[in-house]
Structure 1
Amino acid sequence: MKSETWIFVACTVFFVLVTPAYALVTGASEHGLDWTGTSALTMATLLTAMMSLYLGFHARRMEPRPEDRKDGEIADGAGELGFFPPYSWWPLWCALTLGVIVFGTAMAAYWLVIIGGVLGAVALAGLVFEYYRGEHAH
């Protein structure tokens, strides 16, 4: 994880340097400071700093992976990598019901929000419990 930590540290340093420069350049324009871009860059700085701290904290507590060691070989990383789920249609239905809810909210059609909420609850239950029944049951 140390390599990932250093990538995020480099991004954090970049954003720390770019954010005040952007604020200075846009503040010198005739329209004043661009608060949207400055706040977006500030949030990007904080997010990359958060990831740097998280990855750095966990990199110290776990044993080094083969790619983190100088003497690591490709064969050292062989073996089971984890569980990767097969195809699933449930994320599509969850996204569609969220789209119905957002559309209903934007159009002030609260009856559509209620329908989307009910269908969304069914879709979310299907997503959560898809490995408890059917073809991919464990």
Structure 2
Amino acid sequence: MKAEYLMFVFCSVFFLIVTPLYWLSSGDLTGTTALVMTFLLVTLIAFYLGFHARKMEPRPEDRKDGEIAEGAGELGFFPPFSWWPLWCALCLATMTLGVAIGWWLFIIGAALGVVALCGLIFEYYRGEYAH
């Protein structure tokens, strides 16, 4: 994680240097605020990665003597395709449209949204991909 940590530290330093230069050259408050927030976000990520890089043992790619074969094996769980995000998005679109058209449509979208959200959350508890 040290490589990722250093990458975010360099980005943080870059935004720290660029932000006052942007303010002095343009005087734009919106862009300067966006750059300050970007600096803070990148610094937060760098702090998080640096904090955890010190606590965990080095990965093979972090060591100079690391071999490619050491990184072999299971990488994690990658979910298969799912239709539930589509139904959640359609319910959210119906709720948004309900704010403009009428509250009755919002209530229908919210009720269907609860079902779609439960389906998304509990997708891996039943069926073919259950753990």
In structure 2, what residue type is equivalent to 1:109? G
Corresponding residue number in structure 1 for 2:85? 91
The equivalent residue for 1:30 is none
1:81 corresponds in structure 2 to 75
Q: How many residues align?
A: 131
Deviations 1:112-138 (A, max 9, x none): 322222121111100110111122122
Aligned twin of 1:129 = 122
Distance 1:16 1:108 in 2: 46
Measure the CA separation in 1 of the matches of 2:105 and 2:17: 46
Does 1:112 pair with 2:105?
A: yes
When normalised by structure 2's length, the TM-score is 0.92
Gaps of 5+ in 2: none
The partner residue of 1:67 within 61, 78, 86 is 61
Gaps of 5+ in 1: 28-33
Whether 1:40 aligns to 2:34 is yes
CA distance in 1, matches of 2:48, 2:103: 41
Please identify runs of 4+ aligned residues in structure 1 that moved more than 6 A.
none
Percent identity over the alignment is 66
* Alignment CA distance shift 1:35-1:81 (3 Å): same
Shift in Å at residue 101 of structure 1? 2.4
Residues 66-88 of structure 1: per-residue CA shift (max 9 Å, x gap): 11001011101011111111111
Other-structure match for 1:100:
94
**Residue 24 of structure 2 aligns with which residue?**
24
Q: Which residue of 2 aligns with 1:31?
A: none
SS in structure 1 at match of 2:7: helix
Q: Find the counterpart in structure 2 of residue 11 from structure 1.
A: 11
Partner of 1:52: 46
Q: CA deviation at 1:38?
A: 1.1
* Higher alpha-carbon deviation: 47-56 or 82-91: 82-91
Question: Which amino acid counterpart does residue 75 of structure 2 have in structure 1?
Answer: L
